[in-house]
């Protein structure tokens, strides 16, 4: 996983909790490199899980809640670092529908080794969208946080749930994004 994800995670832990908690989370994860992440390096994606589990133990906050909060934080940071990726969109549904063909495509140009999921739009209506997510990393909670962060960015309120489903016969997670809150 791209180092930027780790550096952003550690910054969020320092800001929302404390530098002392950040240090002890790094220590408890027993990382081979001692937690010295660089934004353009690549690290095993299991490491982010070890860090989140450590933070959950320190704070008592459940892992999925922490991951979703991190997704929201990350989306905000992406909008600051890569404003051009948001410029051609005015709504959550249009933005989310463009992840594979535009957003992650640009990400892959910048970082050829990026390990990205596949998103397929199953249905878009005025107030409801269904989106299939396929990834061997199964980072549903992160996807929810990123989408909630994007909703916030476009000033929209949504409810997001997910169920097991299929896309073109393959097993997938299906997100239901609902503006009828
Ligand atoms: C709502 C919009 C988005 C969603 C739902 C989304 C979803 C995800 C998910 C779930 C992952 C984790 C990897 C996996 O599941 O296999 C991921 C990775 C990533 N995404 Fe997105 N993403 C969104 C927008 C963006 C934007 C705007 C950027 C950058 C400008 C971005 C850059 C990245 C990067 C750098 C990674 C890590 C790749 C790696 O570690 O190798 N994403 N995305």
Q: Evaluate whether 148 touches 72 at the Cβ level (below 8 Å).
A: yes
How far from the centroid of its chain's Cα atoms is residue 59's Cα?
21
Q: Evaluate whether 156 touches 91 at the Cβ level (below 8 Å).
A: yes
Atom of ligand 1 nearest to the CA of 78: 30
- Length of the chain, please? 181
Instruction: Choose the residue to mutate in 45, 146, 147, 152 for probing ligand 1, maximizing ligand atoms within 8 Å of C-beta.
Output: 146
Q: Which residues in 33-127 belong to E strands, given as ranges?
A: 118-124
Q: Is the distance from the beta carbon of residue 49 to the nearest atom of ligand 1 less than 6 Å?
A: no
Nearest-angstrom CA–CA distance, 90 and 154: 7
| pLDDT in the model for residue 32 | 85
Which run of H or E residues covers position 29? helix 19-29
Atom of ligand 1 nearest to the CA of 4: 35
Q: Is the distance from the beta carbon of residue 129 to the nearest atom of ligand 1 less than 6 Å?
A: no
Low-confidence ranges of the chain (pLDDT < 70): none
| pLDDT in the model for residue 180 | 82
List the beta bridge partners of residue 118: 134
Q: Is the distance from the beta carbon of residue 26 to the nearest atom of ligand 1 less than 6 Å?
A: no
Nearest-angstrom CA–CA distance, 35 and 25: 10
pLDDT tens-digit series, residues 49-94: 999 999 999 999 999 999 999 999 999 999 999 999 999 999 999 9
List the beta bridge partners of residue 159: 178
């Amino acid at each position: 996983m791209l180092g930027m994800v780790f550096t952003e995670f550690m910054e969020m832990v320092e800001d929302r909790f404390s530098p002392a908690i950040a240090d002890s989370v790094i220590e408890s994860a027993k990382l081979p490199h001692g937690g010295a992440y660089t934004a353009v390096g690549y690290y095993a994606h299991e490491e982010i899980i070890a860090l989140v589990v450590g933070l959950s133990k320190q704070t008592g906050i459940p892992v999925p809640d922490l991951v979703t909060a991190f997704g929201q934080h990350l989306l905000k940071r992406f909008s600051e670092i890569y404003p051009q990726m948001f410029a051609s969109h005015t709504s959550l549904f249009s933005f989310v529908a463009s992840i594979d063909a535009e957003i992650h495509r640009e990400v892959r140009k910048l970082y050829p080794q990026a390990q990205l999921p596949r998103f397929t739009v199953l249905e878009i209506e005025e107030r409801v969208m269904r989106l299939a997510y396929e990834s061997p990393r199964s980072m549903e909670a992160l996807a929810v946080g990123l989408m909630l962060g994007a909703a916030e960015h476009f000033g929209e309120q949504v409810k997001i749930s997910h169920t097991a489903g299929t896309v073109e016969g393959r097993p997938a997670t299906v997100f239901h994004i609902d503006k009828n809150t």
